[in-house]
Amino acid sequence: MKNILVVRNDKIGDFMLAWPSFAMLKASMPDCRVTALVPSYTVALAKACPWIDEVIVDCGKNADKHTQKYLVQTLKGAKFDASINLFSTTYNALLVWKAKIPYRLAPATKFAQLFYNRRIKQKRSQSAKPEYEYNLDLVRAFLTDQSIDIVEPRAPYFSFSLDALAKQKEKLAVELGLNKALPWIFVHAGSGGSANNLTLEQYSDLVAGIDGNFNVVLTAGPGEEEKARELQVLLAEKQINSVVYDKNDGLVDFSCSLACASLFIAGSTGPLHIAAALDVPTVGFFPAKRSATPLRWKPLNSDGRHLAFSPPQAEDKASQENMTRIDIAKVTQELNLWAAQYLS
């Protein structure tokens, strides 16, 4: 099977956690052609992925019938030998079934599994392992079915050339007034509508407690600019200078900027997972509920380059999601011991 469709058409963070799967496919089957089905907002990242040969834009389940029919015809016309649905919904299942792809692999979940002819029991709701490992298990099953030796991928999964990084760092230094001789700590206080994040007061206390001399860059996606500026004011009240980075030339340009960071701090968001794929040292804050734990959404950093925190264990859901229960004083103490190697 040489022509493979991989479906991961949900949020940016979820898509980044699929990069090891693309890497495993290409490393194990160098001659295969890998096409990714993604939503419009992850197209630029998909095109930047070195293990994806082609990108098809998913119109989404809310598109009109004509547009959805055109997508099915596009998939059918590509004559895929196999599809691997890393993310399975009834909509996704019907897409690959209607496209008449001969081999259709996905997790065995709910009604959608009826439209696949190869299913793997995963029980993702138990959150027993990281999301990227669930993805990799599907690719391992596919490769095993083809009697192909599995080549395990390794971090980093995303990178830029030294020349590109030097140019980006120079550009940011000029535009944002940053000192290139100091470490740069990027802080992303937005949530992008995904998991709960720290409060702005917690972030300001956290940054104020970090040892050393460094520049603070407050990143913001669309609609998060005001939150970044509110955090900037709180930091100024603690005599900490910071800059807001809320304008870029797209996701790949933003990713290149993240690659310039010495440390990246955020909740369980897309930017955290982009930074981790670049193997920038990351500090992540996660709810304690089973579907959102640090284990389930563990970023792609290599060993030792990620630090995770969540609220203390509790029985009730409200407490599990209450990020104000995270003790920032304890976090700062642990962070300073760990981060010294990256901020010296």
Last residue within a domain, chosen from 111, 145, 179: 145
Q: How does pLDDT run across 104-138, given as a tens digit for each residue? A: 999 998 888 899 999 999 988 888 999 999 999 99
320 and 171 in a single domain? The answer is yes
Residue type at 318 in one-letter notation: A
Q: Any residues with CB less than 8 A from the CB of 10 and at least 6 apart, and which? A: 39, 87
Q: How far, in Å, CA of 18 to CA of 136, rounded?
A: 8
Q: How far, in Å, CA of 47 to CA of 146, rounded?
A: 27
> Both tokens of residue 137?
């298990």
128 and 228 in a single domain? The answer is no
Please say if the pLDDT value at position 315 is more than 80. no
Output the average pLDDT for the chain: 95
Q: Residue 218: which CATH number?
A: 3.40.50.2000
Q: How far, in Å, CA of 15 to CA of 162, rounded?
A: 25
Last residue within a domain, chosen from 119, 145, 171: 145
> Residue 186: phi, psi to the nearest 5?
-95, 135
182 and 133 in a single domain? The answer is no
181 and 318 in a single domain? The answer is yes
Q: How far, in Å, CA of 337 to CA of 240, rounded?
A: 21
Q: What is the DSSP string of 86-137?
A: SS--HHHHHHHHHTT-SEEEEE--TGGGGG-SEEE---GGG--S-HHHHHHH
55 and 169 in a single domain? The answer is no
DSSP state of 337: H
Confidence (pTM): 0.96
Last residue within a domain, chosen from 145, 177, 195: 145
The answer to whether position 133 is within a domain reads yes
166 and 136 in a single domain? The answer is no
The answer to whether position 152 is within a domain reads no
Other CB atoms within 10 Å distance of the CB of residue 296: 21
59 and 99 in a single domain? The answer is yes
Q: How does pLDDT run across 47-81, given as a tens digit for each residue? A: 999 999 999 999 999 999 999 999 999 999 999 99
For the ranges 116-125, 232-241, 295-304, the lowest mean pLDDT is seen at 116-125
pLDDT of residue 344: 82
The answer to whether position 226 is within a domain reads yes
Please say if the pLDDT value at position 193 is more than 70. no
The answer to whether position 110 is within a domain reads yes
Q: How does pLDDT run across 204-227, given as a tens digit for each residue? A: 999 999 999 999 999 999 999 999
Which ranges in 209-312 belong to alpha helices (H)? 225-237, 251-258, 270-277
251 and 204 in a single domain? The answer is yes
306 and 334 in a single domain? The answer is yes
92 and 179 in a single domain? The answer is no
The answer to whether position 90 is within a domain reads yes
Mean pLDDT value of segment 140-156: 97
127 and 17 in a single domain? The answer is yes
Radius of gyration of the chain (CA): 21
Q: Number of structural domains, the chain?
A: 2
Could you tell me which residue, 196 or 173, shows the higher pLDDT? 173
pLDDT of residue 291: 87
pLDDT of residue 125: 86
Residue 21 domain boundaries: 3-145
Do 270 and 12 form a contact (C-beta atoms < 8 A)? yes
138 and 218 in a single domain? The answer is no
Could you tell me which residue, 257 or 196, shows the higher pLDDT? 257
The answer to whether position 304 is within a domain reads yes
